[in-house]
Homo-oligomer: A and B are copies of this chain.
Amino acid sequence: MLQGALQSGAAHRKSVFEAFARRLPDGRRYGIVAGTGRLLEGIANFRFGEPELDYLRRTKVVNDQTLEYLAGYSFSGDIWGYPEGEAYFPNSPVLIVESTFAEACILETYLLSVLNHDCAIASAASRMITAAGNRPCIEMGSRRTHEEAAAAAARAAVIAGFDSTSNLEAGLRYGLKTVGTAAHSFTLLHDTEREAFEAQISAFGPETSLLVDTYDVEKAVRTAVDLAGDKLGAVRLDSGDLVAQAQWVRQLLDELGNDHTKIVVTSDLDEFAIAALQSAPVDSYGVGTSLVTGSGAPTASMVYKLVSRTDDAGDFISVAKAAKNKASKGGRKYALRRLNERGTATQEIVGVGHHPEDDGNDRPLLQQFVKNGELLPGWTGPEGVQRARRRHAETMRELPAVVNRLQRGEAAIPTIYEED
**Which residues of A come within 8 Å of B, CB atoms?**
1, 3-8, 10, 13, 15, 17, 42, 51-52, 55-56, 59, 61, 63, 101, 105, 108-110, 112-114, 116-117, 142-150, 152, 167-169, 171-172, 178, 180, 182-186, 188-191, 195-196, 198-200, 202-204, 213-217, 238-240, 289, 292-294, 298-299, 301, 304-306, 309, 311-312, 319-326
Within the complex, what minimum Cβ distance (angstroms) separates A32 from chain B?
17
Specify which of B152, B184, B311 is in contact with A321 (CB 8 Å cutoff). B184
Known: A116-B145, A145-B299, A215-B322. 19 other contacts (CB 8 A): A1-B182, A4-B196, A5-B199, A7-B202, A10-B190, A10-B195, A10-B199, A51-B172, A52-B168, A52-B169, A59-B178, A108-B183, A110-B147, A117-B147, A145-B298, A146-B146, A148-B148, A238-B323, A289-B299
Cβ B215 vs Cβ A1 within 8 A: no
Chain B residue at minimal CB-CB distance from A169: B52
How many chain copies does the complex carry? 2
Contacts of A326 in B (CB 8 A): 238-239
Specify which of B51, B183, B198, B293 is in contact with A1 (CB 8 Å cutoff). B183
Cβ A319 vs Cβ B1 within 8 A: no
A311 to B189, CA, bound (A): 9
Given known A150-B113, A323-B240, contact A186–B61 (CB-CB < 8 A): no
Top-7 shortest CB links A-B: A8-B199, A185-B306, A148-B148, A112-B143, A146-B149, A113-B147, A117-B146
Cβ A214 vs Cβ B143 within 8 A: no
Contacts of A319 in B (CB 8 A): 188-189
A191 to B9, CA, bound (A): 12
Cβ B305 vs Cβ A298 within 8 A: no
Contacts of A200 in B (CB 8 A): 4
Within the complex, what minimum Cβ distance (angstroms) separates A332 from chain B?
14
Within the complex, what minimum Cβ distance (angstroms) separates A27 from chain B?
16
Chain B residue at minimal CB-CB distance from A297: B293
Within the complex, what minimum Cβ distance (angstroms) separates A104 from chain B?
9
Within the complex, what minimum Cβ distance (angstroms) separates A397 from chain B?
30
